[in-house]
A and B are shown apart, each in its own frame.
Chain A
Amino acid sequence: MIALLEVSNLARAYDVRRGRWPFAKPATLHAVDGVSFELPAGRTLGLVGESGCGKTTTAKLVLGLVPVSAGEVRVGGEALPAAHSPNWRALRRRMQMVYQDPLGALDRRLSVGRQVIEPLVIHGLGSAAERHEKALAMLDAVGLAQHHFDRFPHELSGGQRQRIVLARALMLDPQLLVCDEPISALDVSIQAQVVNLLLALQQKLGLAYLFISHDLRMVRQVSHEVAVMYLGRIVEQGDPDHLFATPAHPYTQALVSAIPTHARAKKRRIVLPGEPPNPVDRPAGCAFHPRCPHAVERCRIETPVLRTLADGRRAACHLAEQIA
């Protein structure tokens, strides 16, 4: 069965200059470098990593908002059309995006109801009455009341706004939702509610999610599969419980150990030396090797590929077997 979303060897590079001096040496920023994954319909792939690891760029590449430098994105078996072309616009009905900042993503001058209806207006679907009805139904589905229709964004709470953004995204009955840090801007108590809503909607509508976050616990909760990114590459991928319980890649191990828990018998936290390097100055070989406690000579020279280990997990590390 063809997966809903297939990404192969996706890469995106930017030409930058070091400094503002016009004669500075040009350099290349590899925001995303060889990312591949598959997302079947109705499932969630969680994408985690620190800021600057390429998560948001991956989201933009998947949606077709940014052209690829290399590799391919296929939705339902078909390649992505060029950004903002009529075919691309038609594709919006299959894939939508949920944003980090719900207040910024909404036009503060229009009532939220009107904004929820807007996708239908843009694509010319349904009569005015039908659109209104569907919008009300969608408000209900995301857990808002009918009277919220005429409210303005600044009159709603953060959680309610995010529900509106969700409702708007779902109006076109998409099959795939790319959620870029959808809950980081919300209060912790609201985060759980929104996550539950996302899960309920997935059950009901069969949505697939690409869930991007730096919050590992949330990702573990919602994902059917998790991929960990570092400097534009996926370094580990696998079942969430498995991955968080016994991480294979040294980077994942450090991330997992940093999750605050109240378990008494907590393993010692792994603190990585150094800072996350500049994506422009990527180290040769394994991008992680300068900070890796297990690095050997081979890691400096040869870039590890994402390979399947004996127990079914996938990690991009030369020493995965030894470390686990």
Chain B
Amino acid sequence: MLRYLTGRLLRAVLTIFLVITFAFFVLHLSGDPAMMILSADAPPESIKAFRAAWGLDRPLWVQYLAYVWNALHGDLGNSMRDGRPALQLVLERVPATLAITVPAFLLKLTIGIPAGIYAALHRNSLTDRLTMMVSVAGFTVPSFVLALVLVLVFSVQLGWLPSAGRDSATSAILPIVTLGIAGAAILARFTRSAMLEVLGQPYIRAASAKGLQWRKVVVQHALPNAAIPTTTIVGFMVGTLIAGAVVVESVFAWPGIGRLLVSSVSNRDLAVVQVILLLVAATMVTANIIVDVIYGWLDPRLRRGSRAR
């Protein structure tokens, strides 16, 4: 198991480096980094200072190393908007994003997984078909459409909930529900197929043939095995806690990272974009490691470190 984890850790570090390298190359391919990050009408002294700080007149591989060093410290320049360090700006927005993504994530889990399991256990029943129809909507309806429809119904027609901003206590409800529903639908469908695959296995039939109560068969045999693939997608959802609300935040004018990213892209405020990119990468990679650790614990084949020869 230790060997398995060390391998995964190595992979995670490699991915982060890959992202940093990717950002470095895209930055250099698209133009002069100093001009891009500082903006065209910055005073020549600050451009010179920037060049020195980033070593832009030194050979490329030196620049790369400097970039990597800076990236690992989160120092990728100041935002064009207000001159503050991009990292600070981004980190300020994190709580706002988490305020909607975390509850949405819990919503996804508490609705999606049970729905999927129920649908799998009562295959082809009315509830199953309904759940599947609703869940199909989850990945065919874009989040902005869902958001706008909800706003249309609940804000415009019914007037119950505010349609934008973070002013009142109820502002968060619509964004959370939008994120939650879409994710729950996807999770339900996925859980259902994982469960169906497990339930179709011979050992399930063997367990119930042994005379074990169906409920125990499900709880002791089916669920733990279905948990393994489900963990992957839940892990992915955890990874997108920071990045997954870009569109929703824009629709609801929610002051989080997603909205910051969109405005930074429009303004080409590259320092901020880089920081967000790296932050997202770091989150995804961390989530993957956690998933790998859980896998290592859940899957006895990995726990005992058996080698298939």
Q: Which of A's residues lie within 8 Å of B, judged by CB?
A: 19-21
Chain B residues closer than 8 Å to A21, beta-carbon distance: 3, 6-7
| Contact bitstring B1-30, A, C-beta under 8 A = 1, else 0 | 001001100000000000000000000000
Chain B residues closer than 8 Å to A20, beta-carbon distance: 3, 7
Residue of chain A at shortest CB distance from B3: A21
A-B contacts, 6 of them at CB < 8 A, read: A19-B3, A20-B3, A20-B7, A21-B3, A21-B6, A21-B7
Chain A residues closer than 8 Å to B7, beta-carbon distance: 20-21
Residue of chain B at shortest CB distance from A22: B10
Q: How far is the CA of A19 from the CA of B3 in the complex (A)?
A: 9
Cβ distance B292 to chain A, nearest Cβ, rounded Å: 15
| Contact bitstring B28-54, A, C-beta under 8 A = 1, else 0 | 000000000000000000000000000
Q: How far is the CA of A21 from the CA of B4 in the complex (A)?
A: 10
Q: How far is the CA of A21 from the CA of B3 in the complex (A)?
A: 8
Closest 6 CB pairs of A and B: A21-B3, A20-B7, A20-B3, A19-B3, A21-B6, A21-B7
Cβ distance A275 to chain B, nearest Cβ, rounded Å: 11
Residue of chain A at shortest CB distance from B307: A19
Give chain A's interface secondary structure class. loop
Residue of chain B at shortest CB distance from A278: B309
Residue of chain A at shortest CB distance from B7: A20
Q: B interface, how many residues as a size bin?
A: under 10
Chain A residues closer than 8 Å to B3, beta-carbon distance: 19-21
Q: How far is the CA of A20 from the CA of B3 in the complex (A)?
A: 8
Residue of chain A at shortest CB distance from B4: A20
Q: How far is the CA of A305 from the CA of B6 in the complex (A)?
A: 45
Cβ distance A19 to chain B, nearest Cβ, rounded Å: 7
Cβ distance A23 to chain B, nearest Cβ, rounded Å: 11
Task: List residues 230-269 of chain B with CB under 8 A from any CB of chain A.
Answer: none
Cβ distance A172 to chain B, nearest Cβ, rounded Å: 39
Cβ distance A281 to chain B, nearest Cβ, rounded Å: 13
Cβ distance B56 to chain A, nearest Cβ, rounded Å: 34
Cβ distance B18 to chain A, nearest Cβ, rounded Å: 17
Q: How far is the CA of A21 from the CA of B307 in the complex (A)?
A: 13
Q: How far is the CA of A97 from the CA of B113 in the complex (A)?
A: 53
Q: How far is the CA of A19 from the CA of B6 in the complex (A)?
A: 13
Residue of chain B at shortest CB distance from A20: B7
Cβ distance B308 to chain A, nearest Cβ, rounded Å: 12
Cβ distance A81 to chain B, nearest Cβ, rounded Å: 36
Cβ distance B3 to chain A, nearest Cβ, rounded Å: 7
Cβ distance B173 to chain A, nearest Cβ, rounded Å: 49
Q: How far is the CA of A85 from the CA of B125 in the complex (A)?
A: 61
Q: How far is the CA of A20 from the CA of B7 in the complex (A)?
A: 8
Q: How far is the CA of A103 from the CA of B104 in the complex (A)?
A: 50
Chain B residues closer than 8 Å to A19, beta-carbon distance: 3
Cβ distance A177 to chain B, nearest Cβ, rounded Å: 32
Q: How far is the CA of A19 from the CA of B305 in the complex (A)?
A: 12
| Contact bitstring B139-163, A, C-beta under 8 A = 1, else 0 | 0000000000000000000000000
Q: How far is the CA of A20 from the CA of B6 in the complex (A)?
A: 11
Chain A residues closer than 8 Å to B6, beta-carbon distance: 21
Q: How far is the CA of A131 from the CA of B3 in the complex (A)?
A: 57
Q: How far is the CA of A21 from the CA of B7 in the complex (A)?
A: 8
Cβ distance A247 to chain B, nearest Cβ, rounded Å: 30
| Contact bitstring B204-242, A, C-beta under 8 A = 1, else 0 | 000000000000000000000000000000000000000
Cβ distance A17 to chain B, nearest Cβ, rounded Å: 13
Cβ distance A24 to chain B, nearest Cβ, rounded Å: 10
Cβ distance A257 to chain B, nearest Cβ, rounded Å: 27
Q: How far is the CA of A20 from the CA of B10 in the complex (A)?
A: 12
Cβ distance A182 to chain B, nearest Cβ, rounded Å: 27
Q: How far is the CA of A320 from the CA of B98 in the complex (A)?
A: 79
Cβ distance B63 to chain A, nearest Cβ, rounded Å: 28
Cβ distance A27 to chain B, nearest Cβ, rounded Å: 15
Cβ distance B11 to chain A, nearest Cβ, rounded Å: 12
Cβ distance B9 to chain A, nearest Cβ, rounded Å: 12
Residue of chain B at shortest CB distance from A19: B3
Residue of chain B at shortest CB distance from A21: B3
Cβ distance B296 to chain A, nearest Cβ, rounded Å: 15
Residue of chain A at shortest CB distance from B309: A278
Q: How far is the CA of A21 from the CA of B6 in the complex (A)?
A: 9
| Contact bitstring B45-84, A, C-beta under 8 A = 1, else 0 | 0000000000000000000000000000000000000000
Q: How far is the CA of A21 from the CA of B10 in the complex (A)?
A: 10
Q: How far is the CA of A257 from the CA of B226 in the complex (A)?
A: 48
Cβ distance A252 to chain B, nearest Cβ, rounded Å: 27
Cβ distance B14 to chain A, nearest Cβ, rounded Å: 12
Q: How far is the CA of A20 from the CA of B4 in the complex (A)?
A: 9
Cβ distance B307 to chain A, nearest Cβ, rounded Å: 8
Cβ distance A148 to chain B, nearest Cβ, rounded Å: 36
| Contact bitstring B187-209, A, C-beta under 8 A = 1, else 0 | 00000000000000000000000
Cβ distance A190 to chain B, nearest Cβ, rounded Å: 29
Cβ distance B1 to chain A, nearest Cβ, rounded Å: 13
Q: How far is the CA of A33 from the CA of B187 in the complex (A)?
A: 55
